[in-house]
Structure 1
């Protein structure tokens, strides 16, 4: 099966995996931020690069990107994309600092951002490992501030050799009822996706 042959049943399974991970991530974030954090039911979709960029609104908008490489029984990557203002809200809760759109992130800000990204990705990975029995490791987080198109170009280029479309899951995060507009995208390789489906009895 090629990636572009994935049907709605496969997407529903990935959505359920994402939903479990989102719940765990929200619980962990609530504890570390001391705020009520919620993540809505993620959607799973098969989209091309341009459509993926449209999901972020303005592709030239400056965002915080946190990426981790997934290795072990499956391979791929996971990316958390947060508008800079959204990142400021979460970092303010964590560090007690004030952030604006013009704030230049320092080493402490990036370190805290990596911690947030690691919490989110670990929750997704742990739920996936629990349901499949896979041994999955994640790399140290990479964090950068850039345009959404630039941040997504690297993993899209790698996976583009397999298909002109990619499978991704997204979720929106709210903090104390405030819609933060973040996205979390999981990008398994095609071989890894097949392993996941087989482990789940598909």
Structure 2
């Protein structure tokens, strides 16, 4: 199922939720690190599993990925993906200037960043729908994109075939940092969300 399976109003609602969540995330990160962070209006795509590799990213591209589970009144899996060189920039953003960036510290900083982003999105949805949505502890991996995405499916066979992709673009001190947040919902989760929003 692709984004054309949803009405324009439903797609706009998803974009607005992502916009609110992204703005909340940028504000929370800026307060945490005491620096000005900009996050552009995210782009939303809803694609079938196979379409991701043909239209978004090649299977053999190296990535850094952080996975979190959505728990509570709706279940699904969030997968934050970024190239290794951008992962280092995002990690540095979270740390005091001048602090040496060893691997363990980089991973921890990136996990905290993704935790803030996902929590901000879930908080935005919860406020508008009265759903209780929480996220699990983040887990980071470094691998090829195809392996990372397919393992998410293999670990949880109840997930739907469709993927909602929120493409984020951070602007920090003149540097553009690209990333994407993949949401793989359990069957019926997006439909339940639309019902709560009266769509």
1:114 and 1:141 in contact (8 A); partners too: yes
1:54-110 deviation per Cα after TM superposition (whole angstroms, max 9, x unaligned): 5554442322111110011111111211211111112223334466xxxxx633222
Going from structure 1 to structure 2, the CA distance change for 1:175 and 1:67 (only over 3 Å counts) comes to same
Q: Which runs of 5+ in 1 are unaligned?
A: 100-104
Equivalent residues in 2 for 1:147-166, closer than 5 Å = 147-156=144-153, 158=156, 162-163=160-161, 165-166=162-163
The CA distance in 2 between the partners of 1:63 and 1:166, in whole Å, is: 18
TM-score of the pair, normalised by structure 1: 0.84
Going from structure 1 to structure 2, the CA distance change for 1:93 and 1:41 (only over 3 Å counts) comes to closer
The CA distance in 1 between the partners of 2:148 and 2:198, in whole Å, is: 34
Q: Is 1:118 equivalent to 2:115 in the alignment?
A: yes
How many residue pairs are counted as aligned between the two chains?
196
Going from structure 1 to structure 2, the CA distance change for 1:145 and 1:74 (only over 3 Å counts) comes to same
Alpha-carbon distance, 1:147 to partner: 1.4
The CA distance in 2 between the partners of 1:124 and 1:32, in whole Å, is: 17
TM-score of the pair, normalised by structure 2: 0.85
Going from structure 1 to structure 2, the CA distance change for 1:34 and 1:56 (only over 3 Å counts) comes to farther
Equivalent residues in 2 for 1:48-127, closer than 5 Å = 48-54=48-54, 56-95=56-95, 96-97=98-99, 106-127=103-124
RMSD (Å), alpha carbons: 2.6
2:63 and 2:81 in contact (8 A); partners too: yes
Aligned with 2:142: secondary structure? strand
The CA distance in 2 between the partners of 1:50 and 1:174, in whole Å, is: 30
2:68 and 2:135 in contact (8 A); partners too: yes
Aligned with 1:153: secondary structure? helix
1:56 and 1:148 in contact (8 A); partners too: no
Alpha-carbon distance, 1:145 to partner: 1.2
The CA distance in 2 between the partners of 1:190 and 1:124, in whole Å, is: 20
Going from structure 1 to structure 2, the CA distance change for 1:172 and 1:53 (only over 3 Å counts) comes to farther
Aligned with 2:178: secondary structure? coil
Q: Which runs of 5+ in 2 are unaligned?
A: none
2:170 and 2:177 in contact (8 A); partners too: yes
Of residues 130-139 and 90-99 in structure 1, the stretch that sits farther from structure 2 once superposed is 90-99
Alpha-carbon distance, 1:8 to partner: 2.8
